[in-house]
Amino acid sequence: MADITSNFLGIKSPNPFWLASAPPTDKKINVLRAFEAGWGGVVWKTLGSQVKNVSSRYSAVDYHGSRVMGFNNIELISDRPLDINLKEIVEVLKLFPDRAMVVSLMADNDRKSWHDIIAKVEDTGAHGLELNFGCPHGMTERGMGAAVGQDPEIARMVVEWVMEKATIPVITKLTPNVHSVVPTGKAAVEAGTSALSLINTIQSVTGINLDTLVPNPYVAGKSVFGGYCGPAVKPIALKFLTTIAQDATTSKVPVSGIGGISTWKDAVEFMLLGASNVQVCTAAMKHGFRIVEDMCEGLNNWMDEKGFKTLDDFIGKSVNKIVHWEDLDINYHHIAQIDQTKCIHCGLCYIACEDTSHQSINLDFGKPYNTYTIKDEECVGCNLCELVCPVENCITMVEHRVAPEYVNWIDYQKLGLPLNDH
């Protein structure tokens, strides 16, 4: 079988699946249960100055009967005393010395505070530190969390303070509440961070109770912007991850991928776009810790099928496949094809194409059902019909070429070629 052991900054773990800094990593009992289930590592919930959390704290977005498509929280860093957290980290490390133990930190914005907490955490024997530059609620008002991650120069200053003191690997966690994560990522790398992790949660409002008129989550008739995560944020996380992997400076350090990872397939996608390992939170909170068993098995089987022996064999393989729009081949084309043996005659493809796209599907009325076929000469290969079809592989996109040579948009303009939908 493939070898799925992970070596991230010299921090070894039996698999690349870590639990992210969050409620599941807030105390010894949770982390022990996670390690017993098979997780490769954890990032202990953020430690810092004492805080007091509110109630309630969570809300979610459901979609078409699926619960928790997106998850929102207004919880702050760990509200447990620092000395208790540190004591429990030591105890967990003794019981599971083969698992990765990284501790998330968010100190007050001065050099001494960072140096003091780093010394205390390193005394536990932890393997690494993660700097929380991403929390988008509560801590930002105190000049911490996303307030640091949104300003590259402040981030640079804090990382420099940390690197003065730290003797173990340092991971800087980036906020997605910016136009681009690259400036802060570059500042952190230039300041000496050992690695990056992303994304943290996205500032959000998940919905409003239409009886009370108060947004969720509800705290004595009020609410605040929370941090959004879960499957809904995965496409955004993959975009930000790719920008880090494609930048000359930020690509010099390894990246821990975070954001909506629920299955082994999600994890593979993150790793193909440059992540060396992945962190999971919402999926574990929804399904429990044992989901890691399927993740490990699925990853193993996929690697065996593809002939990959180690994680390094495929990490970053898809990064260069994302290019600028101007580099795409305009002479490349798709035409939809409907498999009549699989069609259930629901008409969803026809409605979508006729009402909102290119009127490229024929409707032939009949008994006992209607028949739908593609107008090849009208189809622009947009994929809409395939996406709305409820039957897997009933509609497929067949590759065609308008002309044999590769021509991108810039070439197209230089050649003065006529513009049309095809």
* Domain assignments of the chain as residue spans, ordered by start: 6-321, 325-415
Q: What's the CA gap between 393 and 396, in Å, rounded?
A: 6
Residues 188-205, mean pLDDT to the nearest whole number: 96
- Is position 281 annotated as part of the catalytic site? no
Say if residues 257 and 173 touch (Cβ distance below 8 Å).
no
Q: CA angle, 245 as apex, 244 and 250 as ends, to 5°?
A: 55
Architecture of domain 325-415: 2-Layer Sandwich (3.30)
Greater confidence, 142 or 154?
Answer: 154
Identify whether the C-beta of residue 166 lies closer than 8 Å to the C-beta of residue 195: no
Residue 102 has pLDDT above 90, yes or no: yes
Q: Which of 207, 262, 210, 222 is nearest to 59 (CA)?
A: 207
**What are the CB-based long-range contacts (under 8 Å, 24+) for 262-266?**
262/231, 262/291, 263/294, 263/295, 263/298, 264/294, 264/295, 264/296, 264/297, 264/298, 264/299, 264/302, 265/298, 265/302, 266/234
pLDDT of 161 > 70? The answer is: yes
Higher-scoring residue by pLDDT: 89, 110 = 89
The arithmetic mean of pLDDT across residues 212-218, rounded, is 94
Using a 10 angstrom Cβ sphere, with 0-12 exposed, 13-18 middle and 19 or more buried, the burial of residue 281 is buried
> Nearest 5°: phi and psi at 157?
-60, -45
What one-letter code names the amino acid at 377? E
pLDDT at 202 over 50: yes
CA distance 28 to 49: 20
Q: Quick one: pLDDT at residue 150?
A: 86
Q: Which pLDDT belongs to residue 398?
A: 96
Give residue 420's pLDDT: 59
CA distance 257 to 316: 12
Pairing of strands 255-258, 195-198: parallel
Averaged confidence pLDDT in the chain: 93
- CB neighbour list of residue 331: distance below 8 Å, 6 or more residues apart: 401, 402, 403, 404, 405, 406, 407
Q: Which pLDDT does position 74 carry in this prediction?
A: 86
Q: Which two tokens stand for residue 357?
A: 């796209």
- Pull the structure tokens for residue 106: 């968010």
The residues, any chain, with a CB within 8 Å of residue 341's CB and separated by 6 or more, are: none
Residue pLDDT, tens place only, 310-358: 999 999 999 999 999 999 998 899 999 999 999 999 999 999 999 999 9
Of the candidate ranges 66-75, 244-253, 258-267, the one whose mean pLDDT is the lowest: 66-75
Region 235-247: mean pLDDT is 98
**pLDDT value of residue 422:** 44
Q: Which of 347, 296, 354, 248 lies closest to 1, judged by CA?
A: 296
| Token pair of 230 as six digits | 């879960």
Cα(84)–Cα(275) distance, integer angstroms = 32
Q: One of 135, 229, 281, 385 is an active-site residue; which one?
A: 135
Mean pLDDT of 69-82: 90
What are 82's two structure tokens? 């620092």
CATH topology of domain 6-321: TIM Barrel (3.20.20)
Euclidean distance between CA atoms 124 and 126, whole angstroms: 6
pLDDT over 70 percentage in the chain: 95
Span 13-60, pLDDT tens digits: 999 999 999 999 999 999 999 999 999 999 999 998 778 788 888 999
Rg (CA), the chain: 25
When pLDDT is cut at 50, 70 and 90, the band that residue 421 belongs to is very low
